[in-house]
Amino acid sequence: MAILAMPVIAFVLWHLLAIVNKKAAWGRKLFKRSIINTTSIVFVWLLIFSLPADASESKCEIWPAWNNFRNKFVSDEGRVVDRSLPQHVTTSEGQSYGLMFALIANDRTSFDLILRWTEDNLANGDLTSQLPAWNWGKRTDGNWGMIDSNAAADADLWIAYALSEAGRLWKVQKYTALAELLTARILREETAEIPGLGLTLLPGPKGFHPDEATWRLNPSYLPIQIMRHFAVIYPNSGWHKIAQTSLEIITRSAPLGFVPEWINYQVGKGFQIDNNPTLAEGGFNAIRVYLWAGMLDSRDPAYPILLTKLAPMGRYLTNNGSLPRKINTLEGAINGSVSAGFSSALLPFLKTHKLNEALHQQRQRVIALSPLDRTDNYYDQVLTLFGLGWLEGRYKFDRNGLLKPRWICAKS
């Protein structure tokens, strides 16, 4: 501000000199020029002060929640560590979310560290040739390394999406190329053409097709906005079909509007609740379905469908004021209380439904429980960064799934 004031002060002195010497010929010319220049500088000054207060500041804005998460859960090498488990595991999910949060925060240094660790340790040094292993940590023999080499499709989606959008926003061709190769591999290795359903995203390459007629699916692995994005940038691929089947899985697996952790699809029978009753409950995984749905752009064709189908969760919160930890998705039976992360995950959903009282109560619950103060709650903090970050306007997704972080608005 002082820099802007200096030329103005100099101009005022020049203007006063013209007035004092108005009678002299050179003074009259100077006075006429000063009148013209006064009009110009007033216009410029008004233009400067008419800009939004945060227009020049938001580009450099710090996201405290991300800095807190990075300091507590991201190692110097770029490994996102879940300290709630004795093995101090790292999952491909954690790495994918770390990439997303770093991108939202415009933190390319952290993004590169997380990407490098992911590629070196979960993909044997080459993400162009294989999907990342989903689980890494301290093994039973005491050594550190891959615990399970199978991949997790939800993490693979978020990694590919983060790379694609990082390539676009930061103009890095390497990220864009890597995203294209990774999405192509997801289509080859983590999808199936299921009779009666269509092209479907499986939870991973192995273990989800127990017999010829059965596939095991996970609704929380299906963020519609990512499929929309891939369908736009890869128009000749199968992502448009996957978006359609993903919406069908979410809606048809929730007969009462409460989404289960897992659902089976059987040829000729359709969707079947898993024989294991705990997998038919909605809880730890399923809470993300409401999170992804809440963050959908209102112009997305899936928006009104999900708004209607998942409305019972909003009604339950409005009527009861508290959030259930587990829901019997067939009977609607509720039990248990939840951690703050579950409340955070529902903030976009409640905002979208315009359930203001429930939104206020859940946000106050997050503030009271202060999940960001702890160091042993990786999943709670992930849900809180997603939910609160969206509610605070730090990012959004448009109708085509493009990421719109706040910092890019400051540059435009």
The answer to whether residues 383 and 287 touch, using CB atoms and an 8 Å cutoff, is yes
Q: Is 207 left (phi over 0), alpha (psi -120 to 50) or beta?
A: left
The answer to whether residues 99 and 74 touch, using CB atoms and an 8 Å cutoff, is no
Give 43: exposed, middle or buried? Use CB within 10 Å, 0-12, 13-18, 19+: exposed
Closest to 288 in 3D by CA, of 196, 384, 360: 384
Strand partners, 137: 145
Residue 159, Cβ neighbours under 10 Å: how many?
32
Residue 57, Cβ neighbours under 10 Å: how many?
10
Could you tell me the two tokens for 307?
């708004």
Please work out, in degrees rounded to the nearest 5, the angle formed at the alpha carbon of residue 173 by the alpha carbons of 404 and 58.
30
Please work out, in degrees rounded to the nearest 5, the angle formed at the alpha carbon of residue 145 by the alpha carbons of 180 and 115.
30
**Buried/exposed code over 60-69 (b: 16+ C-beta within 10 A; e: otherwise):** eeebebbebb
User: What is the dihedral angle through the alpha carbons of 326, 327, 333, 339, rounded to the nearest 10 degrees?
Assistant: 40
Give 395: exposed, middle or buried? Use CB within 10 Å, 0-12, 13-18, 19+: buried
Strand order across the 214-217 sheet: 214-217, 263-266, 270-272
Could you confirm whether 154 is annotated as catalytic? Answer: yes
State the catalytic residue, choosing from 93, 119, 165, 190.
93
Instruction: Give the single-character DSSP code of 132.
Output: P
Could you confirm whether 212 is annotated as catalytic? Answer: no
298: phi then psi, degrees, rounded to nearest 5: -65, -15
Distance, in Å, from the CA atom of 158 to the CA atom of 95, rounded to the nearest integer, reads: 9
Instruction: Give the single-character DSSP code of 148.
Output: E
State the catalytic residue, choosing from 82, 119, 154, 261.
154
Number of H helices, E strands in the chain: 16, 11
- AA letter at 25: A
Residue with tokens 């609160």: 388
Catalytic residues: 93, 154
